[in-house]
Amino acid sequence: MTTESSIAQSREADIREEQAHEAAENSKFGFIVFLLSETVIFLSFFAGYIVYKTTIPDWYPPGVSGLDTKDPQFNTIILVSSSFVIYVAERYLHDKKLWGFRFFLLATMAMGGYFLYGQAIEWSNLSFGFTSGIFGGLFYLLTGFHGLHVFTGILLQTIMLGRSFIPGNYDSGYFGVEATSLFWHFVDVIWIILYVLIYVWQ
Amino acid sequence: MTNAPTEAIDVARQQPYPGAPDNWKRFFTFSTDHKVIGIQYIVTAFVFFLIGGLLSMIMRGELVTPEANLVDRTIYNALFTMHGSIMLFLWTFPVLVGISNYLVPLMIGARDMAFPRLNAVSFWLIPVVGILMLASFLVPGGPSQSGWWAYPPVSLQNPTGNLINGQVLWILAIAISGVSSIMGGVNFVTTIFRMRAPGMTWFRTPAFVWSVLAAQLIQLYGLPALTAGAVMLLLDLTVGTSFFAPERGGNPVLYQHFFWFYSHPAVYVMVLPVFGIFSEVFPVYARKPLFGYRVVAVSSVLITVVSATVWVHHMFASGTPGWMRMLFMFTTMLVAVPTGVKVFAWVATIWGGKLRLNTAMLFAMGGLVNFVFAGITGVMLGSVPIDIHVNNTYFVVAHFHYVIYGAIVFGIYAGLYHWFPKMTGRMYYEGLGKVHFALTLAGTWLCFLPMHFSGLMGMPRRVSSYDPEFALWNVLASLGGFLLGMSTLPFILNMVSSWIQGEKAPNNPWKAIGLEWLTTSPPPVENFEEIPTVISPPYGYGRNEPLIENQSEAVPADGVTT
Ligand code: HEM
Ligand SMILES: [Cu+2]
């Protein structure tokens, strides 16, 4: 190989790295735009909830006087703290400490899984259903739609965990992990609003 | 070193993407080239334009006589529902996304959209939407009959009792079209924010790109609201929740809020790119810079913001309280300001210019006139006292067809003619184009002007039979409708035959200024040999300044070629 062509090659490698960097930045930008748009879906549901709640006189289905907040409260604490855990995972990845990353990612998944489990228990204990008036519909719609997002988040985390076992996969960049973590924070923030709307404001 | 690698690159460049078939077959593949995708969108949309048009021909046929004697009432209901839905979701949106897809990367000096594969997925969802919509003709009970706005409680009726019915298919189709549009919105916004060529600052970005950005931002904030409403409607319809069902305590008016929060701004999703087309076409054929370019650019974004605050003007007659009516009447009038600024800028651009009246320019000018006319009736409808009277009459139909046909479809035609040489590498036949324009203009006015009169006299919309006192206006409208149907024939003939055997187009047949004209016709894969560096604002007609560094030929002030 002549020097000339090896210089050309290394320049080409530079360009390629530059392009990969650009692409990752674009993806991050695009993902944030997407999340903003998703936020509007939730805001629309919330707006609907507020309108109904303030205009319908007998809000709860017959025989229901309100929601029990003890277990959901604990669930909320778990979910919100998992946001910090996934942040720690990301820091470990940043420092190229793969095992730490895996450990804390797994912990996040466990906490998310616990949240879903808690929600399932709560649902099965409720005395009203999806079709029990507007409140029933909205309750299951909102918590269910949010739960679907938690589930998606766990799915993404599983993929990111699996990818960490591919040698060199996270060497040059880890947009996927950043996106997953961003999504998780998003799911958390939405839950806090939802919790206030449904459980606190009774 | 040998030349072999560069040769290979040259060969690759001539293909739409590496390893792709090198001819018309590429338009049937999962291509990730934004130019191929753009044309895929345009052609697909045009197929649906013809289908939607066919449905309107049947409606106009029914309305030639006061009695309902061609189709029965349920079929008529299905016809206007599917006509409206197809025209909006399968023609206007997709064709404009197609044009934007083709042009935006070229205009900003990018090699492709930010997410090419996502782009292809967005496109391939459109045929799925189309299949779902058309499949509803085959299910028991036929297509949805509740109009394209699907208001409950009408849309919650399900006489056949089937889970798969026209309304459910309709909602699914809308949902998929929404997914496609949101992915498209993310793609456009990212592309425009992050991939402009070096030197292309915001105020060196063409007005068309600004208007696409504004339109796509609306998709991103508006569509989620529609999605929320559609999910609730679907649940009401299928699992028996009671969000919008009045007999179960639901609130049907809330649906209207969800619906119009998106669907009013949606008209700007359609019309903003058309404004962008006007802003590109007028300067070229008038040989003058776009008047007030910066104001025109910024006003697009203002429209995006203000149009989020006007949706209740569609609900003046829905039991809306007085204070709310007044508030939204005010915001509605407010949109006229940024819009009026644009109209003023276009007129000032044409004023005193050296006009070249070829087909693209004719369509743009015709579209501008129609739009001004539609704007007047729009302001009328925006004022509560008038709207209370003409709401749900043919006056409304007349108004929005002036917008949609008169301005938007005209603008689409202007754009397709203007960029045809760039897209295909061939020239179209000017004579045939002018015939097309004349027929379309005559058809539009003959079809939609009489509707103002029957509407003012009180003819309700969405009826298959009517009082004989409206007969004259309806016969005229039907004649105009059939004329419009015919007017598409010279267009198709022109496009198909020019593409196959038209004269070869030069790179810049109109001597226009803009990055897209600096590459070959049609552009190679990845658009540019080398990404240009922009050094001056667009529309430098008559200023004789180069647009990019090392520009080989500056565009003359009066670069008349035809
Ligand atoms: C030859 C051209 C056309 C004719 C003759 C025509 C005719 C009609 C008729 C008769 C109706 C029913 C009005 C009613 O009963 O309320 C209608 C509705 C509608 N049309 Fe068109 N139309 C044409 C083109 C278009 C185009 C190009 C678009 C959109 C790009 C469009 C969009 C709509 C919409 C959105 C509705 C409302 C449907 C509804 O909500 O009832 N039309 N049209
Ligand atoms: Cu509106």
Enter the ipTM.
Answer: 0.91
Atom of ligand 1 nearest to the CA of B463: 15
Q: CA-nearest residue of chain B to A131?
A: B241
Which of A5, A137, A145 lies closest to B242 in CB terms?
A137
How confident is the model over A25-76, as pLDDT tens digits?
A: 999 999 999 999 999 999 999 999 999 999 988 888 888 888 988 889 999 9
Rounded Cα–Cα distance for residues B442 and B439 (Å):
5
Q: DSSP alpha helices (H): ranges in B425-554?
A: 430-457, 471-501
- Residue B153 · residue B262 · CB < 8 Å: no
Distance of CA B312 from the midpoint of ligand 2 (Å): 8
Picking from B118, B182, B186, B311 by the largest number of A CB atoms within 10 A of its own CB, the best residue to mutate is: B186
- What are the chain B neighbours of A141 within 8 Å (beta carbons)? 231-232, 235, 241
For chain B positions 241-270, those within 8 Å of chain A (CB to CB) are 241-243, 248-251, 254, 258, 261
What is the residue type of B207? A
In this prediction, the residues of chain B whose per-residue pLDDT falls under 70 are: 1-23, 553-562
pLDDT digits 0-9 by tens, B268-309: 999 999 999 999 999 999 999 999 999 999 999 999 999 999
Q: How confident is the model at residue A2, as a pLDDT?
A: 55
Among B332, B308, B462, smallest CA distance to B384 is for: B332
Model pLDDT, residue A21: 83
Encoded amino acid at B412, one letter: I
CB neighbours of A155 closer than 8 A, spacing ≥ 6? none
Going from the Cα of A188 to the center of ligand 2, the distance in angstroms, rounded, reads: 35
Residue with tokens 């209901």: B77
B194 touches chain A (CB under 8 A): yes
pLDDT of residue B553: 65
Query: Which among A38, A134, A141, A148 is the top mutation candidate for probing chain B, defined by the most B β-carbons within 10 Å of its own β-carbon?
Result: A134
Q: The tokens of A27 are what?
A: 């993806």
DSSP state of A2: -
Q: Are A134 and A128 in contact (CB under 8 A)?
A: no
Closest residue to B186, CB basis, from A4, A33, A130: A33
Binary contact (B186, A25; C-beta < 8 A)? no
Q: Does the structure show a pLDDT above 90 at A7?
A: no
Instruction: Please give the residue that has the higher pLDDT: either A15 or B387.
Output: B387
pLDDT at A4: 64
Long-range own/partner contacts, residues A96-102 (CB < 8 A, 24 or more apart): A98/A164, A98/A170, A101/A164, A102/A161, A102/A164
User: Closest residue of A to B1, CA-based?
Assistant: A5
| Nearest chain B residue to A1, by CA | B1
Report d(CA B1, CA B339) in Å as an integer: 58
> Mean pLDDT across chain A, nearest whole number?
91
Q: Residue B21: what pLDDT? A: 52
What is the pLDDT, as a whole number, of residue B24?
A: 72
Question: What residue type is B193 in one-letter code?
Answer: F
Q: Could you say which of B187, B227, B243 has the minimum Cβ distance to residue A134?
A: B243
* Interface-testing mutation among B235, B241, B261, with chain A (most A C-beta atoms within 10 A): B241
Q: Is B143 helix (H, G, I), strand (E, B) or coil?
A: strand
| Range 87-116 of B in CB contact (< 8 A) with A | 114-115
Which burial class, exposed, middle or buried, applies to B11 when counting CB atoms under 10 A from its CB (0-12, 13-18, 19+)? Answer: exposed
Please name the residues in contact with B37: beta carbons below 8 A apart, sequence gap of 6 or more: B31, B98, B101, B119, B120, B123
* Residues on chain B touching A15 (C-beta within 8 angstroms): none
Tell me the C-alpha distance between B179 and B173, whole Å.
10
Residue A10 pLDDT exceeds 80: no
Nearest alpha carbon, ligand 1 atom 11? B80
CA of A194 to the centre of ligand 1 (A): 41
